[in-house]
Amino acid sequence: MTVLQQARERGRGVGAFNVILLEHAEAIVAGAEAAGLPVILQISQNCVQYHGALEPILAGTLAVARNSQVPAVVHLDHADDEALVRRALELGVHSVMFDASHDSYEVNVRRTSAVAELCHSAGIPLEAELGKVGVKHGVHAPGVRTDPAEAKAFVEATGADSLAVAVGSSQAMTERTAVLDLDLIAALAQAVPVPLVLHGSSGVSDEQLAGAVRAGLVKVNISTHLNGLFTRAVRRTLAADERVVDPRKYIVPGRIAVADEVERLLRLLAPPKRGRSATQP
């Protein structure tokens, strides 16, 4: 049973945090170990483009995950290139998110089904995405919503193991002001037989995130929020001492800031049940 399936059965959420530098992977795992909870480390297609190749950042992240004291899943995020998915599978990625949500529904089903078959043949779960087609910023633009009946049909048609849905979040937000449709989340959780995923969670408040998990969301993706904390910590360190030139001196505060927030968010998303230890995943 996957980390997401276990969390869904227990009514808990799992934090999924984006890796850009190797220091992100180290910080995310440090936060997860402090919380005693499983975590997902995501490498996006944009991150691969930044590094110029998948293998170096994936190999380093997989090594960090292997040494983790808690379950740490390494996930290819927002891939819309089938060749990149195949390469990630060859290199040992633990799960894949394939995004054909900008295509028509029929094309999305066809492409996602083919990638699901590819992933399943390698024993790897697939996350897919469904919302409303034709929006400038895709599924996670403001006002876009996923229809529960269509989501159920989509999962049945594609064989996706988890589904990213549009319920009010928007990607790359720098303020936590998004308002989620909790009633829609509950309806989707009732209709769809696989774990639900929230993208664009950086713009969602603690209260809304906790409510979304109670309503049935499982995987919660957070990137921009952590990047802001990392960058502000680095800026403070450099501003405090202009003589600092060793990157380790200013990267470490950024890494600590991310680790602390990952620990806090994981605890928020997976509160301990009565009678359970706070560190039991």
Beta strands at 126-130 and 217-222: parallel, antiparallel or unpaired: unpaired
Which strand (E) or helix (H) includes residue 92?
Answer: none
Measured distance CA(147)–CA(130) in Å, rounded? 9
Measured distance CA(41)–CA(100) in Å, rounded? 21
- Is 161 marked active-site? no
> Could you count the other beta carbons within 10 Å of the beta carbon of residue 95?
24
Contacts (Cβ under 8 Å, ≥6 apart) of 34: 259, 263
Cα–Cα–Cα angle for 167, 204, 188, rounded to 5 degrees: 25
Residue with tokens 């009633």: 183
Measured distance CA(96)–CA(105) in Å, rounded? 20
- Three-state DSSP class for 98? strand
Contact call for residues 191 and 148 (beta carbons, < 8 A)? yes
- Catalytic pick among 77, 99, 161, 181: 77
Q: Which residues pair with 40 in a beta bridge?
A: 16, 73
- Enumerate the active-site residues: 77
